[in-house]
C-alpha cells in the first residue's frame, strides 16, 4: 500500500443569507450549517465522503475535483484565522483504507461586507 500523502486543506467559513457556508479552497467542496460548529462538521463529513468514494472506486482521492473559484480564495486571504487544526468528530460507516492524511485545516471567517462584494 502507498504511503499516505499529507495535504494542507484550507476552508473558508462565512454567513450567506442567514446560514453558515463552508468552502474548501483546494477542492471545490462546500457545505452549509445553521451554526459555526455545524458547518465545520458538515464540511469535514462531505470532504471525507468524497475521499471514501474515490478510494472505493480505486481512484486517487479528490483528483477529479477542481479548486474553488477565485472569489473564495480572495475572501479567504482577507479572512481571520479561527482554528489551526480541525479534527472530524465522526467515523466513516465502515472501515476503509484512505491513502490521505490531512496535515492542517485552516478555517477563516470573513465579514459580511466582504461576502457582498462578489
Rounded CA separation 41/46 (Å): 9
The DSSP string of 82-116 is: EES----S---SS-----EEEEEEEEEE--HHHHT
The pLDDT score that the predictor gives to residue 33 is: 94
Instruction: Please check the confidence at residue 15 and state whether its pLDDT lies above 50.
Output: yes
- Per the structure, the complete domain to which residue 62 belongs is given by 5-115
β-bridge mates for residue 6, sequence order: 101
Mean pLDDT lowest for which of 42-56, 66-80, 83-97? Answer: 83-97
Q: What is the CATH number of the domain that holds 71?
A: 3.30.160
CA distances from 4 to 16, 57, 70 (A): 35, 17, 28
Residue with cell 486571504: 77
β-bridge mates for residue 33, sequence order: 20
**Residue 114: pLDDT band by 50, 70, 90 thresholds?**
very low
Please give the grid coordinates belonging to residue 9: 486543506
Average pLDDT over residues 28-48: 91
Instruction: Please check the confidence at residue 62 and state whether its pLDDT lies above 70.
Output: yes
Q: pTM of the entire structure?
A: 0.75
The pLDDT score that the predictor gives to residue 23 is: 93
Average pLDDT over residues 32-56: 89
Q: Into how many domains does the chain fold?
A: 1
Amino acid at each position: 500500500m502507498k504511503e499516505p500523502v499529507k495535504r494542507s486543506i484550507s476552508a473558508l467559513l462565512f454567513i450567506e443569507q442567514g446560514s453558515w457556508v463552508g468552502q474548501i479552497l483546494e477542492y471545490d467542496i462546500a457545505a452549509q450549517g445553521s451554526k459555526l460548529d455545524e458547518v465545520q462538521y458538515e464540511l469535514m463529513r462531505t470532504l471525507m465522503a468524497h475521499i471514501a468514494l474515490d478510494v472505493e472506486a480505486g481512484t486517487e482521492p479528490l483528483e477529479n475535483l477542481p479548486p474553488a473559484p477565485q472569489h473564495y480564495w480572495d475572501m479567504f486571504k482577507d479572512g481571520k484565522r479561527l482554528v489551526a487544526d480541525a479534527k472530524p468528530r465522526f467515523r466513516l460507516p465502515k472501515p476503509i483504507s484512505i491513502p490521505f492524511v490531512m496535515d492542517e485545516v485552516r478555517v477563516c471567517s470573513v465579514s459580511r461586507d466582504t461576502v457582498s462584494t462578489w
